[in-house]
Every structure is written in structure tokens, then in C-alpha cells.
Structure 1
Amino acid sequence: GYTNGVLSVVADGFHSLLDGSSNIIALIGIRMASQPPDEDHPYGHQKFEILSAMAISLLLFLAAWHIVSDSLVRWSESGNLDPHPIGYVILLATIMVNAVVYRWQRYQGHQLKSPLLLADSDHTLSDMVGTMGALVALFAIRNGWPIVDLIVALVIGLFIARVGYKIALQSAGVLADRAPIAPARIVEIARLFEGVRDVHDVRSRGFGSGVFVDMNLHVDPSMTVDEAHRIAHEVEEKIREELPEIHDMVIHVEPEGTH
């Protein structure tokens, strides 16, 4: 891209470089997040995965800023562009490789319920779309439309920024402990059991397969401790059966009429 002065190819190459960096960040994040809970981190280390996703979004914003600013600087410049034929081959090969990587990341992300892998797959998709745009720009330049190069570079930059914003928004929600499960769904399941008089203060946090839930369960005041414990255990089993993403639950049992 720099050799031929084709800005869209420079933008795509810069994006590909960041794509490799994000893959390294993702691997480090997954490794740190997979560590078991310890005394200092009783809820585990999963949020390292989210911090890694935030780092990826930052890289995307930096790439977008670099590409868009370069495009605006070059907007008033002119010159004869003559892209080398090898550029077409490289871009086509890049598209095919990214397509395979994207499908694998997307599949594994859904299988493992990993927001980091899904974020990285979005990054790979944006890279693939950017490469397609760069390929279109090369054809346009060869046919006497150099302005298309600048337009494509701008579009690539804005598309990358959009992906970065999406990843940052999703990651911020997890870091802020946005509820991953609607309380009404848990209340609905708990109320199926005879003896459950009320359910309140249902809270959930976490993501993927590491969701933590706590709730208050009101039962008949005349129940024995054993009976109340049995109902709470049955409620927990049913909720975890219906919502397998729950990693741990805490149910506080109270007699009806108390808070």
C-alpha cells in the first residue's frame, strides 16, 4: 500500500496488523480468565476476558483514527496511482484466510459463550470487509477512479470504529454488572413449586457460562428447616436446569411476611 500510494490498502494492512495484535491479546486474556478461583478472587478471573475485549476495542479505535485522519489529509492531494498486480493476489488470499478464521472464532465463541472470542471474530470480520473494500479500490484505480481509494479508506475506518464501539459497549455492560438474566424468568421458574409464597431481590451478574445468581425465597412459616431447605434445593436444581449458564446460586430462605 505504501509502495503504490494506495491508501485503502494501507488502511487494510494497518487493520490486519492490529488483527494479529488482538489475537495475541485474546490468547492472553483467555489464559488469565481460565485460572481457577482463589482466596483473592473467589468469583474467578473471568473479567480478564472482558478487559482483553476492551483492549481490542481500544486498538480498533486507534486504527480507525489513524485511517480516517490519513484519508482526510490525503483528500486534497493528487497523484498517479499504479497498483502492482501482486496486490490483488495478496488481498484475495487475505480474504480467504480471514473467512476461515472468522468462522472458527464465531463457532468457538458461541460454543464457549466467550465474549472475547466473539469480539475477536467481529474484529476479523471487519478486517475481511476492509480487505474487500481495498480490492474494490484497486480495481477502481486501475479503471481511472482514484477517488474511490479515499472513499473506501474512509468507509473502512468508520466501519472499524463501529466494531470497536460495539465491543466496548458490550464489555462495559459486563464490567458494570449488567444483569445477564431477566429476574422475571427466575421468578417464573421458582413460582412453579408448591410452598413457594414469594420471590424477591433476584440478582444476577457475570457472562457466558459464568453467571452468578442470588435471590430471596419466601416459604410457609410453619415449614421446618428441613422442608424449607428441600424446597430451596429443588428450586435451585430446576433453575439451573432451565438456565445452564448459571455457575453458582445463593438462595436465602425466609418465612413469608418477612423481608
Structure 2
Amino acid sequence: MITDNRSTVRRVLVITLLLNIFVLILKAIVGHLTGSLSLLADALHSVTDSANNILGLIASRFSSPHPDREHPYGHLKFEAVGALGIAAFLGIACFEILQGAVERIIKGSNLVTISASELWLLLIVLGVNIFVAFYERREGRRVGSPILIADAQHTMGDIWVTISVMGGLIGVFMGYQWFDLVLSFPVALMVFWSGWSVLKENLPWLVDEMAIAPETIHDIALSVPGVINCHAIASRGVVGRQVFIEMHLIVDADDVETAHRITEEVELLLESRFRPARIVIHVEPPRYKEEQISFAD
């Protein structure tokens, strides 16, 4: 069974987009008032948050799980492409932060000033980021959306970035001007790590990496009475979101009706374990012999 959760994904993305714009405005205002490099870099990071939400809305619009003539396997990879776009945005943000820090070192540091009220505003920003991260992650896991999970991962990184920036500005508030500049470097590393995590999570889907170990599929198939063996097992996709399974099944059956019944039992077991799944099984007669259950390295 194919499940289309795009309306939920779009609703979550619209809510987080509005909250991220609010956070961006607060960071930009406080960054401008204080002259803080790390906070302005964090504001740039928040620009990518809003851009990611817009990108996610576009990707979700085109990522229907339902097949059509041009896309017989559905359009779910559009979400993974959108997640890779998030990784690209994070890479750009990392470069901009490092470039600003190096320029500050070469040209000399400008005086950074911060008040208690401005620190309280940053505390509000932190609270909004925490809410967005946990809300997106919860909804992403509930509906199985990689774009929401990737964006939540991004926002989790943003939380640590904001905490680091606040730590630097508290140091500035106490009279240590160099805190702001020094902490801009770990901010960049946190941004880079968030991007790398998103990239690593979504590349396997795009390159059709194995989704389920063939030995697992083999054991499930052989648990059905009438199955002699199975081979040429292949799988791709993401378990819990959509997987595609193919195999050749050797059955102990002398007529098509019995072979069909055995095949359906195998499909039902695999579907119950890895749903939603699209399963293609090629049935072979009992006399066929094959020991290689999957493709060789």
C-alpha cells in the first residue's frame, strides 16, 4: 500500500518556515546592534533554515509516492534531492562563516557590545529553535519524511550554534572581546557537521544502496511452506518510507494456482515486516538450482 503524507509534510514546513523567519529577524537585529561576527554568521545560518523550508515545500510538491507513466516507481527521490539541497546550503553557510572570521582576523576586530536585554532576546531564539527541532523530528519520524528529518537535524545543529554564540556574547558581556571571534570557528564546524550528516543519510537512497540484507529476505521467504529456495534478491529504498524488493522464488508447485498462493504468502510476510513495500517475484520450478542468493561483489 502506498501512503502519501505530503500534506502533513507541507503543513509542518510552513509552520517551521514562519518560526525560522522570526528567528532570523531577531538574530539579524541583535547582530546588527552588537556588531557580533558570530551572531551575524548565525543569522546567515538561519537564512539557510528558511531557504531549506522553501526548498522542502518545492520538493514535497513533486515527491508523490504514486507512480505514473513517466515515473513508474513514484517520485519519492525528490525528497532526498531536497535533503541534499539542505546539505549544499549548509556548506555555503560554513564557507561564509569562515571567510568572515578570517577577514576579521586580517583587518582587525571591531568592538562588540552586548546588553542583558539582547541576551534575553537570544534566549527566546534558542527556545524557538529547540521547539522547531523536536517538532520537525517528531513529525518526520511519524510520517517517514526524510526532508523533515534532515531539516530537524539541521535545526539541532542550529541549537548548538546558538548556544555557542550566546556563550561568546556572554564572554563579551564580561569584557572578553576575543570570545566572539574564537567561537565563530566552532560555529562553522558545527554547520559543516550538520551538512555532512544530511548528505550521508540521503546518498544511499539516491544511489540505490541495499535497503534490506538479502539473507533476511531469504530467511523470511523460506519460512513459507512450499518455498524451496530463492535467489537474485535485491532491495532498494528506505525501510519505513518505501522499499522495492525483487527476487527469484523456487516453489514446490505443479500448477500456477499453487505457485501463486505461495508467492502471495511470501509477499504478505515481507509487506508486514517492511511496509510500505513493492515486491516483484519471479517464480521458478522445483528442478531449478541456484545457490547464490544475491549479487556477487
- TM-score > 0.5 by shorter chain: yes
Identity of aligned residues (%): 35
| Aligned position for 1:113 | 144
- Equivalent of 1:211 in 226, 236, 243: 243
- Equivalent of 2:57 in 8, 23, 27: 27
TM-score, normalised to structure 1, is 0.94
Distance 1:243 1:36, change over 3 A: closer
Runs of 4 or more above 6 Å deviation: none
Paired with 1:172 and 1:116, the residues of 2 have a C-alpha distance of 13
TM superposition shift of 1:174:
0.9
| Aligned position for 1:45 | 75
Q: CA deviation digits over 1:158-208, x for unaligned, max 9? A: 111111111112222111001121211111111112221111111111224
Structure 1 stretch displaced more, 30-39 or 118-127:
30-39
Q: CA RMSD in A?
A: 1.6
Opposite residue 212 of structure 1, the aligned amino acid is F
Are residue 148 (structure 1) and residue 179 (structure 2) matched?
Answer: yes
Cα pair 1:68 1:158 within 8 Å, conserved: no
Paired with 1:223 and 1:163, the residues of 2 have a C-alpha distance of 56
Say which SS state the counterpart of residue 75 (structure 1) adopts: helix
| Aligned position for 2:28 | none
TM superposition shift of 1:34:
2.6
- Equivalent of 1:74 in 88, 104, 116: 104
Cα pair 1:102 1:124 within 8 Å, conserved: yes
| Aligned position for 2:223 | 192
Paired with 2:208 and 2:95, the residues of 1 have a C-alpha distance of 30
| Aligned position for 2:14 | none
Paired with 2:155 and 2:109, the residues of 1 have a C-alpha distance of 32
Are residue 14 (structure 1) and residue 44 (structure 2) matched?
Answer: yes
TM superposition shift of 1:2:
3.8
Opposite residue 209 of structure 1, the aligned amino acid is R
Q: CA deviation digits over 1:11-40, x for unaligned, max 9? A: 111111111111111122122113632110
| Aligned position for 2:10 | none
Opposite residue 113 of structure 1, the aligned amino acid is G
Opposite residue 40 of structure 1, the aligned amino acid is E
Cα pair 2:211 2:237 within 8 Å, conserved: yes
- Equivalent of 1:102 in 133, 137, 142: 133
In structure 2, list runs of 5 or more residues that go unmatched: 1-30, 291-297
Paired with 2:284 and 2:65, the residues of 1 have a C-alpha distance of 35
Cα pair 1:217 1:253 within 8 Å, conserved: yes
Opposite residue 213 of structure 1, the aligned amino acid is I
